[in-house]
Structure 1
């Protein structure tokens, strides 16, 4: 059914609900990107480390992006499906009328202290990882719900649905509750292998399974655009809405990363390395974030990350480069003007406190050193995987930095590998559009989709002389900032 129904006037919408922005693409069934849209998100920081947001405002941003994409539909075209990739892990409580009861907890929320121990006792980190697929982190829904259990138990008791922000968006669009296995992983309440809610955690929290969205598979149709959502979005009532996935697995789909040996580097609020992996046990044993990806027939996904590294980079830029609206353009320009090695300057952007020792340094060297330090952190992660026996046949870079000149070239030179860029900051949204196409029958699966979709790509090759400079600089970086310096000598 895939090839014959794939016509020039058939279009798909893919959304990427990220931490910093809602992005979307209108994509033809052949892979041509007709329109790209983006709206910035906003958060409220509260005393005690809380980070929260208005999920109703997130819905308004989302339907605004959809409306603009729908408005770009060429004459004679039809939008046959929509799907969402998302950086989830944001907790939402909903009442009987389907309205949020409190602001959503962001995955960046840090208000949890001893509440996890109070509710769950001494959790075994290895058991949590094996069950959920992710290492134990106290900033995701399992922790949010423990905090609510301790401080606002009535909210949990009186809530009608306990979900995440993506599930709420699906409900507002279709009137149906549902969650895919990939997104459910970030909930920390799913037994990942069985794709069932994990009753021991629910019992400790006092949450009945009936309050959670049903778990289904990526590519399943949730429902169709309701009359109200049609008015909000400009989409035709009845347009299918298809379950997507976590943002990085969607970006892997949107950049053609489907096989073991391929590595995706997704540069967003966090920089995430994503690799298809056949053996789930190996992913868990390597302490990686594990995703169902192409299960049950295909590989799992394994991820490592530089958490919230973009926020750290932004803090350096604001302090030493510029605090203006065009600061990233200036940052890129300065980094290009500096030579490899940043004049001897070494910066670890992930350090807890911003260095105060740079006031006399050249701005261009600071910009270059920030980029180089970020990529050195990335290389450190990759080196550990290679030391454990993982081999990569190709590396692809996506996300906003992949659309600039300096970042991809520095990655190529530091890693000493060819770097492929495809679909840039829209890779997650393109992957979601691909999933929508699978869900409505345009493509049989991801492999079939990639046979039909044509995406332009660019290859950056490492410069041998620059790569040699970076070999030395990387060892110096490790010696200065990590305990692994002796291993790099």
Structure 2
């Protein structure tokens, strides 16, 4: 039996999975590493922690599995997007990495918008948001010019780790699309954007496909990890692109809903000229010449966690959700908006905050819990409606993440989205997507689609209840009004927040 390894470089930990030729995860391991917040709104990590964690996780994966390293055909990566790693001519990181959830760059975002105007959406297909890489580069340019002067290249997190494992510099298109420096349609670094901010194109690494081989393991890395120097290493992709692969989002109209801390709606796209004016993200896929549309709810599962920790800290999640199945659609006239940390899609608004509307003395904890679940799902439907407005018919949605672990929530998604919800037999997310890239790159399958057919199996399907769907259509109209009705109030409340 031969294997591939998927490495998922997350924000809090790196996860490695050993996958066989039937798509079964034979073994897995994860290693945590710290997150640094040296100032309010800053979020950084030491790139060396990623490398150490990855090597420890690979070694323990091989030790626990007892697999002969000669049986491992290849390794590929999934990685947290947007994080800025600047390296000098010797490949040394020049400063801590600035992460995707770092929000220090608001002024740089406004500079990008003022400088490029409509060209930004025409070229990069995405708005200037604090999470992206270009604003981070401009922050370093303005505040640490001596660091930028020493920089030979900028890399994203997984690309830095892969460089340390192979000695090869590269970046795949799916991750490059999240930098705001890529011409997404032409799959080239944008001279227009780089020159507008005095950034030399030499800072940008060479671009490759996600399934392209980018070297083999360096001798010292092979020794430390328990693998061979002949082990092939493939470029990998952005975490959301790999999550899409791991859920089988590999065909026109295929759509995924992931409810984790944040929530993501992601839909496959082949039209490179599609421009949704920044209402949702538009990125390159891990599959060649394919793209994906993505909407984000910032506080999806986090809204439920916040609610439990604040109002039911003595209960487990299972206990909290015990009574929600008995609550009718609409939660007895109680409506929740999950804007507790601001919002991303379709309202990129850092000031908006959440609301409970319609509270009365008859509402119980189960009503409130049910309303939170509905509000999160309504927010995700807003992204689905944007995709539908682009001309797509969404009739099936693959559900992954925490929202796929509760039957009431799965049926709620079917009713609110008015689409069949598919739960997978085994869900490994981005780590499995990374393994699929290694499997395809290693020649196991003729296409990523064939790989998905072999690796991914459906477990259950939840279909919309017509009566429930009709109720939710009316409630969704009310939900959409809450943002406009409360926006000005929240803007005025900003000065009172500590």
Normalised-by-shorter TM-score class = 0.7 to 0.9
Q: Deviations over 1:105-134 (max 9, x none)?
A: 11111112434556x582334311221232
Aligned equivalents of 1:374, 1:424: Cα separation in 2: 24
Q: Gapped runs of 5+ residues in structure 2?
A: 341-351, 487-498
- Distance change (3 Å), C-alpha of 1:387 and 1:438: closer
Q: Of the candidates 233, 239, 243, which is equivalent to residue 235 of structure 2? A: 243
Q: Of the candidates 16, 30, 33, which is equivalent to residue 8 of structure 2? A: 16
Aligned equivalents of 2:268, 2:295: Cα separation in 1: 12
Q: Of the candidates 154, 163, 169, which is equivalent to residue 161 of structure 2? A: 169
- 2:255–2:394 Cα contact (<8 Å) kept: yes
Correspondence for 2:24: 32
Q: Of the candidates 330, 334, 339, which is equivalent to residue 341 of structure 1? A: 330
Q: Of the candidates 155, 162, 170, which is equivalent to residue 147 of structure 2? A: 155
Q: Of the candidates 421, 424, 427, which is equivalent to residue 422 of structure 1? A: 424
- 1:92–1:104 Cα contact (<8 Å) kept: yes
Aligned equivalents of 2:131, 2:466: Cα separation in 1: 42
Equivalent position SS for 2:294: strand
Aligned equivalents of 1:203, 1:124: Cα separation in 2: 11
Correspondence for 2:439: 437
- Distance change (3 Å), C-alpha of 1:252 and 1:335: same
- 1:115–1:150 Cα contact (<8 Å) kept: no
Aligned residues: 472
Correspondence for 2:298: 307
- 1:125–1:136 Cα contact (<8 Å) kept: no
Correspondence for 1:188: 180
- 1:399–1:424 Cα contact (<8 Å) kept: no
Q: Gapped runs of 5+ residues in structure 1?
A: 1-8, 485-489
Q: Deviations over 1:89-119 (max 9, x none)?
A: 001122344332222111111112434556x
Correspondence for 2:77: 84
- Distance change (3 Å), C-alpha of 1:462 and 1:49: same
* Stretch of structure 1 that moved more, 81-90 or 405-414: 405-414
Aligned equivalents of 2:458, 2:64: Cα separation in 1: 21
Correspondence for 1:93: 86
Aligned equivalents of 2:322, 2:387: Cα separation in 1: 33
- Distance change (3 Å), C-alpha of 1:385 and 1:276: closer
- Distance change (3 Å), C-alpha of 1:449 and 1:46: same
Shift of 1:412: 1.4
- 2:6–2:433 Cα contact (<8 Å) kept: yes
Correspondence for 1:402: 404
Aligned equivalents of 1:359, 1:294: Cα separation in 2: 48
* Stretch of structure 1 that moved more, 154-163 or 263-272: 263-272
The TM-score normalised by the length of structure 2 is 0.85
Q: Deviations over 1:413-454 (max 9, x none)?
A: 222322012266512211111110111211222123234435
Q: Deviations over 1:148-193 (max 9, x none)?
A: 1111100000123321211111112112111111111112222223
Aligned Cα root-mean-square deviation (Å): 3.0
